[in-house]
């Protein structure tokens, strides 16, 4: 059974960098069949795709967030990470990590439970 | 504002059918047969219920079906049950510049 678990600070100050890690179990990031993704949901709102990364390190980003997003992958610990710089209150959201099938599109088949990140001083 | 347009709400009585639309453009829904639908209960992560326009993952009841015509995709829930009351989101692949887009979500109420 594939499981994903987000971890990271629940509170970030404005202008600082949000950092989250997703730990994957039940599958190997190195297997190559998937993109490893971050998706967020503003309170009471819809879903917004942020970015995904392949095990090689190739990263694909939402154009609206690209200038602030950095992703990395740690295959030895089966983890991948998100850094979002220069955050504002508009970045307050539940952040999900998810697995995206490489052979299809928009196919996020396993999700973490989500972690709420609040941007506030 | 979400890239894909969904009605904010939909409703139906138990046993009835309800269809939720998802309108995109010729750059996303209209160009690729990569439309997915997700079901989300309050406080929970989304769950994949339809992929590749009309394919169901293992374990998803066949009461859920998907289709597409032009720039609009649709999710139909037949034989509505109380447990179908949830938020539903569509998503589409949008090519190698935009990558992935989501709809704003539809709250389905079972009357």
- B10-64 pLDDT, tens digit per residue, is 999 999 999 999 999 999 999 999 999 999 999 999 999 999 999 999 999 999 9
pLDDT band at A2 (very low <50, low <70, confident <90, very high): very high
Q: End-to-end distance of chain B based on CA atoms, in angstroms?
A: 29
CB A38 within 8 A of CB A20: yes
- Within 8 A of B93 by CB-CB distance, chain A residues are 104-106
Q: What backbone torsions phi and psi does residue A31 show, to the nearest 5 degrees?
A: -65, -30
Tally of CB atoms within 10 A around A30 = 11
Classified as helix, coil or strand, A25 is: strand
Classified as helix, coil or strand, A84 is: strand
B residues 47..106 contacting A (CB < 8 A): 47-48, 51-52, 57, 89, 91-93, 97-105
B32 to chain A, any CB pair closer than 8 A? The answer is yes
For A108, which of B35, B48, B98 is closest by C-beta distance? B48
Q: What backbone torsions phi and psi does residue B83 show, to the nearest 5 degrees?
A: -70, -10
- Does residue A32 register a pLDDT over 90? no
Tell me which of A106, A109, A115 to substitute to probe the interface with B (most B C-beta atoms closer than 10 Å).
A106
Query: Which residue of chain B comes nearest to A104, CA vs CA?
Result: B34
- Does residue B79 register a pLDDT over 80? yes
Q: Which residue is listed with tokens 């678990």? A: A5
Give all strands (DSSP E) within chain A, no chain letters. Answer: 3-7, 11-12, 18-25, 34-41, 47-53, 59-61, 69-74, 79-84, 93-101, 108-111, 115-119
Instruction: Please report, rounded to a whole number, the percentage of residues in chain B having pLDDT higher than 70.
Output: 99
- Does residue B2 register a pLDDT over 80? no
């Amino acid at each position: 059974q594939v499981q994903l678990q987000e971890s990271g600070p629940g509170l970030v100050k404005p202008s600082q960098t949000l950092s989250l890690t997703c730990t994957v179990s039940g599958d190997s990031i190195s297997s190559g069949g998937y993109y490893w993704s971050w998706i967020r949901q503003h309170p009471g709102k819809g879903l917004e795709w942020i970015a995904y990364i392949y095990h090689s390190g190739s990263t694909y980003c939402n154009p609206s967030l690209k200038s602030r997003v950095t992703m990395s992958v740690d295959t030895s610990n089966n983890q991948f990470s998100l850094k979002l710089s220069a955050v504002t209150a508009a970045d307050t959201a539940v952040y999900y990590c998810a697995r995206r099938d490489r052979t299809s599109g928009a196919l996020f088949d396993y999700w973490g439970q989500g972690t709420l990140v609040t941007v506030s001083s | 504002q979400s890239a894909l347009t969904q009605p904010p709400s939909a409703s139906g009585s138990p046993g009835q059918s309800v269809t939720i639309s998802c309108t995109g453009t010729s750059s996303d829904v209209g160009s690729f047969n990569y439309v997915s639908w997700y079901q989300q209960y309050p406080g929970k992560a989304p769950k994949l219920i339809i992929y590749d326009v009309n394919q169901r993952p293992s374990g998803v009841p066949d009461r859920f079906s998907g289709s597409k015509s032009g720039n609009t995709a649709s999710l139909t829930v037949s034989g509505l049950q109380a447990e179908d009351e949830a938020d539903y989101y569509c998503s589409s692949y949008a090519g190698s510049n935009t990558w992935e887009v989501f709809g704003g979500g539809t709250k389905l109420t079972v009357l």
